[in-house]
Structure 1
């Protein structure tokens, strides 16, 4: 069982209150309130879990994890990170506490509260948007071990984990390119050979998300340079309505398939595909499973093993071989990214398409295909 217990800010405060009136001396009460204040205050910046559960002093390590905006339940990036910390709790006998933030400005104080408590063997920061805050906090708390996923913070107490998202995106782009040039139907979607157009919806237009775009476009054009790729950046990872609007526009302009790298915004892409009888491609997790109600239009997902990065970071702390200042990058060669066909309709994708995608994967790993990490 995971050694973790969620409690809301109000429940934290109520527990503190009850305990404070039960302790038997004023001095003990003051000491307890001082300690609880360091932890409970995190609720002011969006702390979702302010106390780890059973295990306590017997745990191999205590981990704090700060999720990207969009939070748990996005069926994508954050949920994949949570899978990693839950696996660590199951297999490595650790306890952990989770934080969800509303805006990027919450990252620095939330990270800081973990470090100030002195109770965490590692604080894992999920998402490139946390890099600036972590750069500051890592220098102010040099004895705290930190990890960041999706960015690099060049400090001696920070382990950085990244991915070759462009490699996995190439594979789903190659698939999309082959399917948009033929008549194909499955589930609730279809493609028509006379359109030869696909789309890409990004969250924010940053170098990281542009890697998804670059790989996708390269994969599409690896099949046929004449295929049009419509691109759009919504500006948010938590705006399904905007995602739906942008995807609908792409479908109206002839796109058969839209790939998204936009977190919870992607739910809107799936909804537009379903409404218009077209296809979509998910990201980070197998979204035909995490967003099951849209499985009849999700051809595939570009899975990014954020869970592996989180688990690896925790494991290094448990095994006492944490290496701050080091960078690790996961790609196709080590299954850090991969193309996974949809759970419901992936089996209907023609075998010649799948075989071509598998060959392209081997060629990328062998170095015979070079995938750009920036849009061309």
Structure 2
């Protein structure tokens, strides 16, 4: 009877999701259930959410769990989806940056469910304060963005202007902008960075408009840290004849038709982080806390499928990547640290 009650509960809860689930949710119910509450911006965004789903689908094939994906078009819908997911009592609920407060609160109130935050913004020293049923898979966005800044300044040393377009005003984006500015400062301290925040990870039209404005201000390279909105920047870069730098997935792979205008991408291997989280759940090794992903352990890598990273640029990238990995360069994480940053190694 308990088994029957559990089945009825999950079926009734599924009905409350309405049209918010993808085809993964149409499979027959089998324990255990892993639920992914995707961030606002679309599950097939060619960027962040898509990469996480790739990792979760790999896990479903290899580790044998029932994956349910909840789509959200608005913040209110996200909150409703999270509430419904909790009521369904799955083995694990996974969500993304921008929703850390909601997920932490949910974990504290539901100790019988495991929670995983992908690309978390929890402080590095806060592991002991996290609920025991909560893991935060943190990415050092400042490190990766620093290397993109180095390449932007090195590939575009004639204009002296680089651009940055962020999706939302959240810590992950702020950290990336600081890292990007630091990388440019390390190579060409006299260069100017123009930056904008468009307020959405799913507004390609606005992103393209802002990209055009930055290009008119002289930007010869624009780093788009805006999720699904980045396609607007890519299209503008293609028509305007300037470089685009992407994030999350290798954008030259996602959009091969635009490969000639995509200098490179800061690949955040969030698919691996998502897989790591569900593997802990499935093999019984789950342990609450913070797990770090950066340029030193393969969490963040260079995407260069477009073929635009020359041997010289690759050498520059490798030099700085090594310096970050071995600790001889510490990437700024705050505005105060950026102001004091001189681009030199710690020893210097």
TM > 0.5 fold call: yes
TM-score class, shorter-chain normalisation, is 0.7 to 0.9
- Whether contact under 8 Å (1:202, 1:232) holds in the other structure is yes
| 1:144-195, Cα deviation, whole Å (9 max, x unpaired) | 11111122392221111111111111111101111111xxxxxxxxxxx2x2
- Of 103, 114, 119 in structure 2, the residue corresponding to residue 150 of structure 1 is 119
RMSD: 2.1
2:44 is aligned with 1:73: yes
Q: Which among 172, 197, 201 is matched to residue 165 of structure 2?
A: 201
Which residue of 33, 38, 41 maps to 2:13? 38
Instruction: Confirm or deny: 8 A CA contact 2:7 2:29 kept in the other structure.
Output: no
Name which one, 1 or 2, has greater alpha-carbon Rg.
Answer: 1
What aligned pairs does 1:57-206 form with structure 2 within 5 A after superposition?
57=31, 61-118=32-89, 120-125=90-95, 127-151=96-120, 152=122, 154-181=130-157, 193=158, 195-206=159-170
Contact between 1:68 and 1:100, CA under 8 Å: does it hold in 2?
yes
Where structure 1 has 5 or more consecutive residues not aligned to the other structure, the ranges are 1-28, 182-192
**1:374 aligns to 2:334 (yes or no):** yes
Contact 1:160 1:328 (8 Å CA) reproduced: yes
Contact 2:208/2:232, CA 8 A, preserved across alignment: yes
Q: Secondary structure at the match of 1:198?
A: strand
- TM-score normalized with structure 2 length: 0.88
| 1:64 positional shift | 0.7
Q: Quick check: 1:62–1:94 contact (8 Å CA) kept in 2? A: yes
Task: Determine the structure 2 residue equivalent to 1:23.
Answer: none
Aligned equivalents of 2:170 and 2:94: distance in 1?
21
Consecutive unaligned residues of structure 2, counting only runs of 5 or more, are 123-128, 339-348
Q: C-alpha separation between the residues in 2 aligned to 1:104 and 1:290?
A: 26
- Cα distance in 2 for partners of 1:259, 1:34 equals 45
Matched, 1:51 2:25: yes
Partner of 1:329: 292
How many residues of Structure 1 are paired with residues of Structure 2 in the alignment? 326
Aligned match of 2:177: 213
CA contact (8 A) 1:273 1:280 kept: yes
How far has the Cα of 1:336 moved from its partner?
0.5
1:235 aligned counterpart, secondary structure:
coil
Q: Which runs of 4+ in 1 moved over 4 A?
A: 29-35
Q: Structure 1 residue 283: deviation in Å?
A: 0.3
SS across alignment from 1:208: helix
1:93, 1:33 → 2: CA distance?
21
